[in-house]
Amino acid sequence: MPHIPPVPLSWYLILSAVLFAIGVAGFLYRKSIITVFMSIELMLNAVNLSFIAFSYQLRRIDGHIYSFFVMVVAAAEAAVGLAIVLTVFKNRGTLQIDEVDSMKL
């Protein structure tokens, strides 16, 4: 088996940037509330990957703690956000974000 060089850490950071950009694209282009929510989760995951990568680079564990906190806050946010989605659906009967526009001028 030939020797394969190890992955440079910058690949992890670039992967994180790509995933974040895909999350932003989903956030901007999708019209379903639930999919927009999932795009936000994708962005949070991409940021977590950056934290872990820098933690590896600096040989410090602080990045792990931060990404742990991000995870906890994301779980809390998902619970509250999905409750809001339920309420919106109960009141309006739709999941399309451009039909929920009563605050639009």
Partner 1 sequence: MDTILFIIFAIVAVVCAFNLVLQTHPISSALSLIGVMGSLAVLYLLLGAEFIAMAQVIVYGGAVMVLFVMVIMLLNAGSEKRSGKSWFAQIAGLPLLLVFVAVLGVLIRGALPQLRPVEFGSWVGGTAQHIGQMLFTEYLLPFEIVSILILIAILGAVVLAQREID
CB of 91 to partner 1, least distance (A): 11
The answer to whether residue 100 forms part of the interface with partner 1 (CB under 8 A) is: no
Interface residue with partner 1, options 2, 47, 52, 100 (CB under 8 A): 52
Contacts by residues 36-45 (CB-CB < 8 Å, ≥ 24 positions apart): 36/97, 37/78, 37/81, 37/82, 37/85, 40/77, 41/74, 41/78, 43/19, 44/70, 44/74, 45/19
The answer to whether residue 2 forms part of the interface with partner 1 (CB under 8 A) is: no
Interface residue with partner 1, options 8, 103, 104, 105 (CB under 8 A): 8
Total residues binding partner 1 (CB under 8 A): 70
CB of 50 to partner 1, least distance (A): 10
